[in-house]
Structure 1
């Protein structure tokens, strides 16, 4: 479906109305929970976490759906394979069997690689996969397919309390894998992992390695676990202004000195994009096909000749520019306290692996992405050409040089803070989780378990259905907004896409 076919039901589907058949309860029964330990003894050690890892101490949940396979008729054999493979992979990925702790001398989070184990859960659903509805639509019921680390009391009961010391308060497993079988013979692999362990790119490498071990093959990529490679410089040296970051703690005058010299102003007191809202939100998916994205790229080609060479008109950049305009202009506050056009700042992740000098090793297991930004007044976003918004998004990524990335890392050494912007784009679009080849085949679909966050917009891939001609080239965009803002967002989305 291209832009010329926006009519009736197709239009409503594009705007992401929930399917009528969406199940709210998958009727999941947990049969067994246990801890899996490394298959070989691993060295007891403390793992340094970079300043990028430090601020990502929260869980990420993903679900990977698999259809029935003749060699794995009921999912139980696959579950046994996964359990054995998990024990093996905890040797090279020893930190996944460890526990977070706070270093009392530095106040920094670290991982105590102590072999305490990763979680493993076996469950079943009363439904078949084709009964649970559209896999692409982020159903909140998919949370039943993932065992959160916050549920570790169940693991405690089944393992005689062997998940860590009681006194540290950080004893939950950093990684839990749940296998949920369906009555059709298919199954879901639900994974909960602390974000400090992986970013999306390193998680994909982990899945490649897990699949390789399940197929009795050697590791696809040797993991590189030394996070010291992203340690701050000594002494730290903040050489750029970083409006994309917000300080959350007071620091001494001495620590503030370097950025004072860069004429950084007072603190921004707006809430961070990670904070949950108490507002009631509408929840919609906006779908863009390959032809829609090609149309946006054509619109972006009117960039001034003086800047064309350095502007990248990529699929991500044009979709991000479109969403930025819609989100900024759907807000109820068009002007600031001084009656001026309110500034909107969009944040999005940039992989720094190849931008550093020297580049990070291919198998780097930590978080190797930083937050880029683009800022503009609402009036400019509304009245300016679409190409200018694409240009600003492209410039934000180009800003992420080796020196800029080192400046961000050093900023984190001097200050404690989080991304600071009006909206954050979190993209699972091109991570390729559904391309991982397991002994039982590739996933039918892989997706995050999502929660309503007003200021986080999620990009995730469409389902690649055989013979439908899509080849996974489109994108689904998850938006959660208050009702009136959502109505504006929908109208702007159609206006800017078709205009």
Structure 2
């Protein structure tokens, strides 16, 4: 297998890192060496982990993987113990772990990553607190998506749980094979998909813009100032979300969809409320003003030939949904929830539109272009609000062994300074059954004025609690 290959989808993803903060209650003195040994066993069967993302000299503008350039000692480092004045783990747990960029309560060490190529594929850092520790993991977005990172963390946990004398990990090569996402004929002319735009001025390409965000954001990481883009962490209690979902699904058939998923309902709620918060009074009544959002969609089961559910790469599409601003705003004020169900149905139609044919059109077109840097994976009109879901990640199921235990909270290590929402995996709540359902948590980023409005919206207050 060609380990250096990155698919056409990888080529048009933002050339940046994303990451997660995992919170553990372990106080075992050997936890770091256990993590090191476990990661070394994973890297032995997933060579991407010790690779760098580099420019592809054979196809200018593209990138590829270069192997065996990294070492576990570089990938995983021990930052330093937190100062005594930092609150301890029990306090963080009691306050629902308000740990994310620009939090005044606690801020773990974030690994240093370069803004331009060559990029290491993965970086991880540990921060010890009294009564526990935080593991921060950053991965390059052109190599792994959120589900792939979840699978890697699961493998890492299994390796740690088995210990030094445990059986070595095994992996199916199909989980690593990006060739299933390659173009069919790069020499043939392929039509340009509607949601792939050409960039005339590279300085303003999406990937470079986000890289600039990342560069400036890295300067913030050591000591968060008063933010101009405050980030709010919300909890949606299981019983409230279940009731809302049941109510909205009563309208599903009349709206032309078979069902509305939890993700549809949560996305509709936050998109409507964020639009209301970002709109002026005149915009809310306008008959011509429209809004758009982008929603990430896992394509592992949609692409043909089908990818494994535990595929260790990037395999997602983006559904772009447009809707009249006044309808989105009205959905936040009506009590029947039919208007909110219409928003959710529009999202469901958009998600269902991410088909094998659509993704193959994008893959074939990108693969036929000489320079992928000139391409942006978005409509010509940029979406005003982006929603990405980590809801299917199995972070809380992974057992890292008796000396480390289970992750008790997942938080976002970096978030772009832009209007967006990250839906986190559900945490088991009082109303859950069999541990399969729980409270849903959201991380929302908006400008200061818009965030202030969002926090005051009645609809958000009905279903979401702010984690201070």
Structure 1 residues 410 and 239: CA distance shift in structure 2, 3 A:
same
What pairs with 1:325-364 in structure 2 (closer than 5 Å)?
A: 325-332=272-279, 340-364=287-311
In the other structure, the counterpart of 1:222 is 172
Structure 1 residues 433 and 221: CA distance shift in structure 2, 3 A:
farther
In the other structure, the counterpart of 1:298 is 246
Pair 1:435-2:397 in alignment: yes
From 139, 145, 149, the equivalent of 2:100 is: 139
CA contact (8 A) 2:205 2:376 kept: no
Rounded to whole Å, the distance in 2 between the matches of 1:177 and 1:496 is: 36
Deviation at 1:404, TM superposition (A): 0.8
The alignment's TM-score, normalised by the length of structure 2, stands at 0.77
Pair 1:366-2:331 in alignment: no
In the other structure, the counterpart of 2:220 is none
Rounded to whole Å, the distance in 1 between the matches of 2:113 and 2:211 is: 19
Deviation at 1:273, TM superposition (A): 8.4
Which of the pair has the greater relative contact order for Cα pairs under 8 Å at 6+ separation? 2
CA contact (8 A) 1:425 1:458 kept: yes
- Measured against aligned partners, the alpha-carbon deviations of 1:83-130 in whole angstroms (never above 9, x if no partner) come to 122222222111211112111231210011134324221232345312
Rounded to whole Å, the distance in 2 between the matches of 1:493 and 1:80 is: 49
In the other structure, the counterpart of 2:223 is none
Rounded to whole Å, the distance in 2 between the matches of 1:81 and 1:304 is: 49
Deviation at 1:50, TM superposition (A): 1.3
CA contact (8 A) 2:122 2:140 kept: yes
CA contact (8 A) 1:273 1:424 kept: no
Rounded to whole Å, the distance in 2 between the matches of 1:493 and 1:273 is: 33
Pair 1:424-2:380 in alignment: no
CA contact (8 A) 2:301 2:309 kept: no
- SS of structure 2 residue aligned to 1:370: strand
CA contact (8 A) 2:253 2:259 kept: no
Structure 1 portions without partners, runs of 5+: 1-42, 69-73, 152-168, 252-266
Rounded to whole Å, the distance in 2 between the matches of 1:408 and 1:497 is: 40
Deviation at 1:67, TM superposition (A): 1.2
Structure 1 residues 304 and 210: CA distance shift in structure 2, 3 A:
closer
- TM superposition outliers: structure 1 runs of 4+ over 6 Å: 271-275
Deviation at 1:250, TM superposition (A): 6.7
Structure 2 portions without partners, runs of 5+: 218-226, 332-338, 464-468
Pair 1:206-2:152 in alignment: yes
Pair 1:61-2:13 in alignment: no
Structure 1 residues 64 and 217: CA distance shift in structure 2, 3 A:
farther
What pairs with 1:67-78 in structure 2 (closer than 5 Å)?
A: 67-68=25-26, 74-78=27-31
Pair 1:103-2:103 in alignment: no
In the other structure, the counterpart of 1:247 is 198
Rounded to whole Å, the distance in 1 between the matches of 2:440 and 2:198 is: 33
Structure 1 residues 247 and 299: CA distance shift in structure 2, 3 A:
farther
CA contact (8 A) 1:209 1:221 kept: no
The alignment's TM-score, normalised by the length of structure 1, stands at 0.73
Pair 1:388-2:388 in alignment: no
CA contact (8 A) 1:454 1:479 kept: no
CA contact (8 A) 2:148 2:311 kept: yes
- SS of structure 1 residue aligned to 2:417: coil
CA contact (8 A) 1:209 1:220 kept: no
Structure 1 residues 182 and 329: CA distance shift in structure 2, 3 A:
closer
Structure 1 residues 64 and 285: CA distance shift in structure 2, 3 A:
closer
In the other structure, the counterpart of 1:476 is 441
CA contact (8 A) 2:21 2:136 kept: yes
Deviation at 1:353, TM superposition (A): 0.5
From 49, 52, 56, the equivalent of 2:9 is: 52
Deviation at 1:355, TM superposition (A): 0.5
Pair 1:130-2:83 in alignment: no
Pair 1:232-2:183 in alignment: yes
Deviation at 1:356, TM superposition (A): 1.2
CA contact (8 A) 1:202 1:367 kept: yes
In the other structure, the counterpart of 2:231 is 283
CA contact (8 A) 2:427 2:438 kept: no
Structure 1 residues 83 and 304: CA distance shift in structure 2, 3 A:
closer
Structure 1 residues 487 and 126: CA distance shift in structure 2, 3 A:
closer
Rounded to whole Å, the distance in 2 between the matches of 1:272 and 1:242 is: 21
Structure 1 residues 357 and 211: CA distance shift in structure 2, 3 A:
same
Structure 1 residues 241 and 377: CA distance shift in structure 2, 3 A:
farther
Larger radius of gyration: 1
In the other structure, the counterpart of 2:39 is 86
Q: Which moved more, 1:205-214 or 1:478-487?
A: 478-487
- SS of structure 2 residue aligned to 1:48: coil
